[in-house]
Structure formats: C-alpha cells, structure tokens
C-alpha cells in the first residue's frame, strides 16, 4: 500500500493576509512587544540588524536572529530587521537601519506569529515595558 505524505503546502490569502496550511487558516498576531525602548547607539558600519539587551529579548520571548518590526516614535519610520543579543541596556540600530533613527529616539519593537483559530481564544501577547535607561519596568 502506498504511503501518503503528511507534508502539506502553505497558501497565503491575498485579501486577508492569513495563511492556510492543510486547510487550516493561520492569522498573524502580535506575539511580543518591547515598548518604549531608547536607542543607545546607531552603527552604520555594521552589516544590519538591531542589537537588543539579551535580558530584554529573553523576557519578551524573542530569539536571536528572529525577525522583528520596529516603529520609531520620534520620526514615524517603520522597518523590519532581525535581532542580535547585546549587553545590558543596549538598543543599537545597525547597518542600514541606523538611518532610521538616532541615539535617544524612542522605539517599539514588535514580533508577530501565526495562530490557527483554535488557539486565538484567550491569547495575549507578551508586552515588556522599559524605562528611559532600557530597564524592564513591567511585563504583561
């Protein structure tokens, strides 16, 4: 008897942005947010990414090299990059992202994930709030 593959194919719906996998629709949700981070450095010479205090990304549940979206509260810029763990209090815009903000700018860092409808009920993102020195003030 021939064995059927259990591997499916993912399809993205143009209208809603939802992804379906084996006829299960997945929706994109905010999974984690680092709120009110202060840019401590901008390093244009680096290859790319954002460096974030390792304790902050651990608290948020964000992994090294995970894709994030960043919104700059000072200039309205919104951009995507990936995370590199850094030292205590560090929030550094690297490479081309260094053009998206300057030292002292306040930013919000978002991580998104896909959930099927069965997992959305009761789901809440993890939100890490920081003070002006990038110390964790509150996590919800």
- The pLDDT tens digits of the residues spanning 79-100 come to 999 999 999 999 999 999 999 9
Q: What is the CATH number of the domain that holds 39?
A: 2.40.40.20
Has residue 17 been placed in a domain?
no
d(CA 121, CA 65): 29
Q: What is the pLDDT of residues 105-137, one digit of tens each?
A: 999 999 999 999 999 999 999 999 999 999 999
Nearest to 77 by CA among 95, 57, 97: 97
Q: Are 68 and 112 in contact (CB under 8 A)?
A: no
Domain span including residue 126:
29-133
Q: State residue 24's pLDDT score.
A: 84
Q: Is 114 a catalytic residue?
A: no
Q: Are 126 and 60 in contact (CB under 8 A)?
A: yes
Residues 47-61, mean pLDDT to the nearest whole number: 95
Has residue 59 been placed in a domain?
yes
The total number of structural domains that make up the chain = 1
Match 């490479």 to its residue by tokens.
95
Catalytic residue among 20, 71, 82, 114: 82
Has residue 65 been placed in a domain?
yes
Has residue 62 been placed in a domain?
yes
For the cut 50, the answer to whether the pLDDT of residue 1 exceeds it is no
Has residue 88 been placed in a domain?
yes
Q: How far is CA 77 from CA 58, 73, 108, 127, 135, in A?
A: 25, 8, 11, 21, 23
Q: State residue 47's pLDDT score.
A: 78
Has residue 78 been placed in a domain?
yes
Q: State residue 15's pLDDT score.
A: 58
Has residue 7 been placed in a domain?
no
Q: Is 49 a catalytic residue?
A: yes
End-to-end CA distance of the chain: 52
Query: In the structure encoding, which two tokens stand for residue 47, read together?
Result: 């290859």
Q: What is the pLDDT of residues 3-38, one digit of tens each?
A: 443 445 566 555 566 677 677 889 999 999 999 999
């Amino acid at each position: 008897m021939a064995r059927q593959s259990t591997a499916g194919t993912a399809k993205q719906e143009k209208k809603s942005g939802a992804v379906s996998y084996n006829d299960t629709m997945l929706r994109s949700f905010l999974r984690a947010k680092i709120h009110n981070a202060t840019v401590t450095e901008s390093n244009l010479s680096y290859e790319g990414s954002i460096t974030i205090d390792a304790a902050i990304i651990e608290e948020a549940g964000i992994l090294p090299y995970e894709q994030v979206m960043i919104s700059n509260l000072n200039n309205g810029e919104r951009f995507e990059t990936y995370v590199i763990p850094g030292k205590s209090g560090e929030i550094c815009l690297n490479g081309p992202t260094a053009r998206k903000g300057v030292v002292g700018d306040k930013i919000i860092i978002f991580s998104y994930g896909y959930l099927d409808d069965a997992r959305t009920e009761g789901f809440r993102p993890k939100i890490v709030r920081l003070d002006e020195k990038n110390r964790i003030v509150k996590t919800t």
